[in-house]
Amino acid sequence: MSDRMIKTRIAPSPTGDPHVGTAYIALMNHCFTKKHGGKSILRIEDTDQVRSTRASEDMIIKSLRWLGFEWDEGPDVGGPNGPYRQSERSEIYTEHAQKLLDDGNAFKCYCDAERLTNMRKAQMKSGMPPRYDGTCLRLNPEDHAKHEAENTPFVVRLKIPVEGKCIVHDTIRGDIEFEWPEVDMQVLMKSDGLPTYHLANVVDDHLMGITHVMRGEEWISSAPKHLLLYQYFGWEAPVLTHLPLLRNLDKSKLSKRKNPTSILYFERAGYLPEALINFLGLFARASSEGEEMMTIDDMVKDFDANNISLGGPVFDMDKLDWLNGRYLRENMDSEEFLDKVKTWALNDEYLKPIAQMAQTRITKLSDLGDLLSFFFMNRIEGQTQENLRQVKLEELTQRQIYHLVLMQFDAAAVWDKETIEGILRNTAEKLDIKLKFLIQAMYVATTGSMQSVPLFDAITHLGRDIMRQRLRHAIELLGAPTKKEAKAWEELL
């Protein structure tokens, strides 16, 4: 280990709900950093201009704070190496891309999208992995001059050694070998002049003084390109650790189709941050024997990345429930418990919008319990096959509604009332049914009853992940579509 002061970062991309995988990566980084008395950075990797939103960034920061994480530098706390949002650092990347071009370590590629698509198709047809074929690397100076004169749009690509191997040293996996000719000539700068993840990530890790990178294993195959960039720039590369990805019970990569994945879901469903942290910390435990309840400080003290099992940590909700129950029963006195109940849902922030929705719909305050219980539940009692069947729609149409609404909820870039209303109206239109009936179907799935407080507001307030669970449950009760059905229905949109 180098004798530089240890500095780590977490670098989430703000392209959706705050993911529990981000919490897991943050926890491993936190334990490592604190154990070695290092410093940490939160960097927002918003190079994907289409998918990144400020709302997602805000939610990520809020969720990480809810879990108890802190960082020494970041977009919300400032620091000497800012800005900490990649969208605010374009000039830095342009300069660095230019340096690579000047040194002959990168090249301009003028191939248009059509040529690249045909190239990939041909490669796949002949059983080769899709990869840039180096056409523009072989352009002569006249061809280049012609493109420059014509202002042909270009991207900047990384030059890859034509032979030999790259050895990536990973602290928990050892040496991983890659043949250079199998590494793609990565695009570093897009034709709009903005960087890709690879360039921005390496430049920032260096400029921000990062000594150790702990990130998800999906980035292993990018490591050779990153190491090459460090070499081209003449910089010392950070120590790399690629953490195994969280998995569903069936060992597939943790996905929202099979498991709740948003930190917001766990918060709303009434899990305690310390229980969730404890649960994630179990994946880095030396032995599966002994007491499993541990504080984050215990985890820091015992942390050793080599204890992380490479087999793939399985996200077992029953285990999380068990731990959470123990925290509620064993880890707090009645005052603390009361505080937890208040911070969970009995606070102004959560109650105010609910009270506004309910005010005009009751005759006495004691009506509130019945009317609003669905806001304080995970799975709702009222969502039964019998209740779902009261909706005045063909069962097929009702199944289509839930399936198509769920799909559109998943795809929505923002989660607000206008978007939700737009999705429901669009679905009614495409299925050629009256909005009124679609709303009935959505009421039962959302609240367990045919009528309640204003639907669009209620859905907005419940949040995307709770809604996903409710729609999924309704779909299970009425029968999930076959693959063929799903495909045909999706074509209606």
Q: Which of 183, 119, 115 is nearest to 153 (CA)?
A: 115
Q: Rounded to the nearest whole angstrom, what is the least distance from the CB of residue 185 to ligand GLU in the complex? A: 20
Nearer to ligand GLU, 82 or 270 (CB): 82
Q: Which residue is nearest to ligand GLU (CB)?
A: 215
Four-point Cα dihedral 380, 385, 391, 397, nearest 10: 110
Nearer to ligand GLU, 63 or 383 (CB): 63
Q: Within a 13 Å sphere around the CA of 444, how many CA atoms are in the beta-carbon half?
A: 26
Range 219-278, binding ligand GLU (CB under 6 A): 219
Nearer to ligand GLU, 21 or 481 (CB): 21
Which stretch in 11-19, 126-134, 180-188, 243-251 sits in contact with ligand GLU by CB under 6 A?
11-19
Nearer to ligand GLU, 12 or 74 (CB): 12
> Between β-strands 39-42 and 187-189, what pairing exists: parallel, antiparallel or unpaired?
unpaired
Which stretch in 5-13, 375-383, 395-403, 420-428 sits in contact with ligand GLU by CB under 6 A?
5-13
- Residue selected from 8, 12, 29, 227 as contacting ligand GLU according to rule CB under 6 A: 12
Nearer to ligand GLU, 29 or 427 (CB): 29
Which stretch in 8-16, 57-65, 134-142, 249-257 sits in contact with ligand GLU by CB under 6 A?
8-16
Q: Rounded to the nearest whole angstrom, what is the least distance from the CB of residue 49 to ligand GLU in the complex? A: 14
Q: Rounded to the nearest whole angstrom, what is the least distance from the CB of residue 96 to ligand GLU in the complex? A: 17
Q: Is 392 a catalytic residue?
A: no
Q: Rounded to the nearest whole angstrom, what is the least distance from the CB of residue 85 to ligand GLU in the complex? A: 12
Nearer to ligand GLU, 201 or 440 (CB): 201
Nearer to ligand GLU, 11 or 61 (CB): 11
Q: Rounded to the nearest whole angstrom, what is the least distance from the CB of residue 260 to ligand GLU in the complex? A: 19
Nearer to ligand GLU, 14 or 260 (CB): 14
- Residue selected from 29, 52, 56, 201 as contacting ligand GLU according to rule CB under 6 A: 201
Q: Is the dihedral of CA 24, 29, 32, 34 positive or negative?
A: negative
Which stretch in 10-18, 173-181, 346-354, 363-371 sits in contact with ligand GLU by CB under 6 A?
10-18
> Helix axis angle, 435-447 relative to 417-430, nearest 10°?
120
Range 408-427, binding ligand GLU (CB under 6 A): none
Q: Rounded to the nearest whole angstrom, what is the least distance from the CB of residue 14 to ligand GLU in the complex? A: 9
Which stretch in 6-14, 141-149, 187-195, 244-252 sits in contact with ligand GLU by CB under 6 A?
6-14
Cβ atoms of 137 and 159 within 8 Å: the answer is: yes
Site string for ligand GLU, 206-225 (x = CB under 6 A): ---------xx--x------
Amino acid in the structure at residue 300? V
- Residue selected from 8, 13, 33, 52 as contacting ligand GLU according to rule CB under 6 A: 13
Nearer to ligand GLU, 12 or 75 (CB): 12
Please work out, in degrees rounded to the nearest 5, the angle formed at the alpha carbon of residue 26 by the alpha carbons of 22 and 27.
120
Site string for ligand GLU, 28-47 (x = CB under 6 A): -----------------x--
Range 45-64, binding ligand GLU (CB under 6 A): 45
Range 313-342, binding ligand GLU (CB under 6 A): none
Q: Rounded to the nearest whole angstrom, what is the least distance from the CB of residue 45 to ligand GLU in the complex? A: 4
Nearer to ligand GLU, 56 or 400 (CB): 56
The secondary structure of the chain, three-state, reads CCCCCCEEEECCCCCCCCEHHHHHHHHHHHHHHHHCCCEEEECECCCCCCCCCHHHHHHHHHHHHHCCCCCCEECCCECCCCCCEHHHCHHHHHHHHHHHHHCCCEEEECCCHHHHHHHHHHHHHCCCCCCCCCHHHHCCHHHHHHHHHHCCCCEEEECCCCCCEEEEEECCCEEEEEEHHHCCCCEEECCCCCECHHHHHHHHHHHCCCCEEEEEHHHHHHHHHHHHHHHHHCCCCCEEEEECCCECCCCCECCCCCCCCEHHHHHHCCCCHHHHHHHHHHHHCCCCCCCCCCCHHHHHHHCCHHHCCCCCCECCHHHHHHHHHHHHHHCCCHHHHHHHHHHHCCCHHHHHHHHHHHHHHCCCHHHHHHHHHHHHCCCCCCCCHHHHCCCCCCHHHHHHHHHHHHHHHHHCCCCCHHHHHHHHHHHHHHCCCCHHHHHHHHHHHHHCCCCCCCHHHHHHHHCHHHHHHHHHHHHHHHCCCCHHHHHHHHCCC
Q: Is 7 in the site for ligand GLU (CB under 6 A)?
A: no
**Catalytically annotated residue among 34, 108, 159, 256:** 256
Q: Rounded to the nearest whole angstrom, what is the least distance from the CB of residue 195 to ligand GLU in the complex? A: 12
Q: Please work out the total of residues on this chain that contact ligand GLU, with binding judged by CB under 6 A.
A: 8
Amino acid in the structure at residue 320? L
Q: Is 11 in the site for ligand GLU (CB under 6 A)?
A: yes
Q: Rounded to the nearest whole angstrom, what is the least distance from the CB of residue 201 to ligand GLU in the complex? A: 5
Distance CA 350, CA 348 (A): 6
| Residue numbers annotated as active site | 256
Chain residues in the site for ligand GLU (CB under 6 A):
11-13, 45, 201, 215-216, 219
